[in-house]
A and B are shown apart, each in its own frame.
Chain A
Amino acid sequence: MSWKFESGIPIYSQIMDIIKLRILSGIYTPGGKLPGVRDLALEAGVNPNTMQRAMAGLENEGLVRSVRTSGRYITDDEDLINVLRMELSRTKVEQFYHDMKAIGLTQEEVISLVLSYGGMKK
């Protein structure tokens, strides 16, 4: 089953987002080895060149490094990963807040909703 992609956004950047999420959620462990481009492309259901482009992008951001003849590895720089975590969370919160405002909630209502939800989820 291939990964789900949205239209309108380049696939390579969506791949990058998916892999970032996998790093954060622990599917790919820091310092761990990534599957090869071809296998990842097959898993994602995309062109290997597109996957390659995504890898290059991740390397650029320092999240992934390639070791010659060995393959690609996730960075073990915990600080960098935390920065990524914060960035992603901020984006999500921004989006969430924006959506809640569109529904018509005030800031207080949003906060109490979140807290109660957090409580329920124990």
Chain B
Amino acid sequence: MFGKLLKYEMKAISRTMLPIYLLTLVSSVFAGASIGYSSNNASSFLPATGLTAYTILVGLTFGVCLFVNILRFRDDLFGKKAYSTLTLPVSLPSHIFAKLLASTIWMFFSSVIFITSIIILTIAAGKFNPAFIIENPQKIIDQFTRLSSKDLAMAAGIILTSFISSMMHIYASIAVGYQFHQHPLLASIIAYIVTGVISIAFINFSVDDLAMFMLVSRSIEAVIFFGICYGIMRFHMNLE
């Protein structure tokens, strides 16, 4: 059942994100090409617009992704659609996890598209030199092995837990805020600030390793925010 829930999450968001991804990639071609073209000619108008458009689209790739996922969480679980979603025979944690997982996956896709678009831009600008990779494979491999796998894993873990914690923070704030039917948005913002302050105040233990601290504290935060979110939905559900 969870898989099906996730399937529909992914499908729903794809309708918005896929066109943006396409536009971003296309604009990266145009931006790159216009840079390449203008390095031979004096005009800087084309690359300026090209780059601006591309930058905006990259911003949208991340911004819209975040926005759309948060909106979906709110509408599906606290808006009119809740009358349909919350009557599905799935557990409450499934609903929350499905949305969390979908947000994380889409953010990951956005990152991949971003990196891809940069590569495309570089290629389109003619600055990409595949010969470099072919002639110096050892140098490139060395660059990667210098970073130990432990460091990479830690970095990935920190990024992941930070993202999850942030999303759960937002979700929990929405859950709390939308109990106040008159001013749900305002209440959500206040809840966000209050829960944020509390979490910083309480998670304060000393560890030598900063990276480990970040990893653990973010994880704890994520769990606490999940608890708040679940607790509100389970024990104080009050749909309008």
- A/B: CB atoms within 8 Å of each other: no
| B binding-site residues for A, Cβ under 8 Å | none
| A binding-site residues for B, Cβ under 8 Å | none
